[in-house]
């Protein structure tokens, strides 16, 4: 008789699942038997990936196209999921974007849009599904932050600040969930190969010349393992971990100068 997979009977909702880290996280969950709800804006890509993962891993998948950057979209998505009779055991808040450049020359809508997606939608969805997880004493939340969460980021100020929020919120939730059976992890990747850079316009910064980005699947696998262990925070990569741990020991102005230099165009 086939061994029961860890996630059988549970459903994972993954935002930003049409590509990159989100799609690979979805694959990690499907491999362990979790049914999936995949969310992003690109409906054709979502549907295609949902069908592929359903067939490959023998799980049920549902693709829901939604722009989570629209205010209230998190609530609407939660209502839509309930109306379909679906439950969410694990919430993977992965959808996010960054925009490089000085705050001065930025468009207000782009900056606020980052807060709406990276922060607001993440909180709305967590708030919607958290009580169900606590009542069931299982499942949890895997939030995708970034190594940007560990220091302020001149020339990408709002993105860094939004990820600092995600890290702080996740750690606090992790503590609140102690003893409940619910798990919380915050995945903090460093530079990763995906469409993120192209969308963020970070291609020509000094930071981008430091090393080769790792694959999104290696990040997803590490994040998935961390979640299963209820690891509070996972920073991917030895160098990223070392740098993040160094930050609290350096003068704040030194950190700001380094971050400014790294985010500057070549
Ligand atoms: N790549 C890196 O170097 C890196 C490093 C650290 C942290 N991260 C974080 O990792 C997460 C995933 O990024 P990635 O590297 O995989 O980037 P990506 O390839 O650009 O993927 C982003 C995903 O989010 C979805 N998305 C974007 N805007 C959305 C919106 N308004 N509503 C719903 N879905 C939306 C995209 O799909 P649609 O376009 O179809 O909507 C896509 O599925 C992000 O939170 C990012 O901040 C990335």
- Ligand 1 midpoint to CA 231 (Å): 22
Answer yes or no: are the C-beta atoms of 49 and 37 closer than 8 Å: no
pLDDT value at position 1? 58
Ligand 1 pocket test, pick from 21, 222, 233 with the greatest ligand atom count within 8 Å of Cβ, gives 21
Task: Please check whether residue 130 lies inside any domain of the structure.
Answer: yes
Output the pLDDT for position 210. 81
Q: 69: how many CB neighbours lie within 10 A of its CB?
A: 20
CATH number of residue 181's parent domain:
3.40.50.720
User: Residue whose CA is closest, atom 34 of ligand 1?
Assistant: 40
Q: Give the residue, by CA position, lying nearest to ligand 1 atom 17.
A: 196
Residue 202 has a pLDDT of 60
pLDDT recorded at residue 265: 86
163 falls within a domain: yes
3-state secondary structure 37-95: EEEECCHHHHHHHHHHHHHHHCCCEEEEECCCCCCCHHHHHHHHHHHCCCCCCEEEECC
5 within a domain of the structure (yes/no): no
Handedness of CA 157, 16, 244, 260 (dihedral sign): negative
Asked, for residue 16, whether it belongs to a domain, the answer is yes
Q: Is 159 a catalytic residue?
A: yes
Does residue 182 lie within any of the structural domains?
A: yes
Question: Which positions of the chain have pLDDT values less than 70?
Answer: 1-2, 202-203
Predicted local distance difference test score (pLDDT) of residue 266:
82
48 and 40 Cβ atoms separated by less than 8 Å? no
What pLDDT is stored for residue 225 in this prediction? 98
| Residue 181 confidence (pLDDT) | 98
Q: How many domains does the chain have?
A: 1
Q: Tell me the torsion sign for CA atoms 20, 24, 25, 26.
A: positive
Atom of ligand 1 nearest to the CA of 95: 24
Q: Which ligand 1 atom minimizes the distance to the CA of 121? A: 32
Residue 253 is predicted with a pLDDT of: 98
Residue 216 lies in a domain: yes
Note down the domain range covering 187. Answer: 11-263
Q: Is residue 67 part of a domain?
A: yes
- Whether 40 is covered by a domain: the verdict is yes
């Amino acid at each position: 008789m086939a061994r029961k997979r860890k996630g059988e009977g549970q459903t994972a909702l993954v935002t930003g699942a049409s590509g990159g880290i989100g799609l690979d996280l979805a694959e990690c969950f499907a491999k362990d038997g979790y049914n999936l709800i995949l969310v992003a804006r690109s409906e054709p890509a979502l549907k295609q990936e949902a069908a592929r993962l359903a067939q490959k891993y023998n799980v049920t998948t549902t693709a829901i196209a939604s722009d989570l950057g629209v205010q209230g979209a998190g609530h609407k998505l939660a209502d839509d999921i309930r109306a379909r009779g679906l439950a969410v055991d694990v919430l993977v808040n992965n959808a996010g974007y960054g925009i490089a450049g000085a705050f001065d020359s930025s468009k207000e809508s782009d900056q606020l849009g980052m807060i709406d997606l990276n922060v607001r939608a993440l909180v709305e969805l967590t708030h919607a599904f958290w009580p169900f997880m606590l009542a069931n004493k299982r499942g949890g939340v895997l939030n995708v932050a970034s190594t940007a969460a560990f220091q302020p980021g001149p020339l990408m100020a709002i993105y860094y600040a939004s990820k600092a929020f995600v890290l702080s919120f996740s750690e606090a939730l992790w503590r609140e969930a102690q003893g409940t059976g619910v798990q919380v992890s915050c995945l903090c990747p460093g530079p990763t190969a995906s469409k993120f850079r192209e969308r963020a316009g970070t291609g020509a910064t000094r930071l981008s010349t430091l090393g080769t980005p790792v694959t999104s699947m290696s990040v997803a696998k590490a994040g998935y393992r961390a979640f299963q262990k209820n690891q509070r925070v996972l920073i991917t990569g030895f160098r990223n971990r070392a740098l993040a741990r160094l930050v609290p020991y350096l003068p704040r102005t030194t950190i700001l100068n380094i971050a400014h230099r790294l985010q500057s165009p070549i």
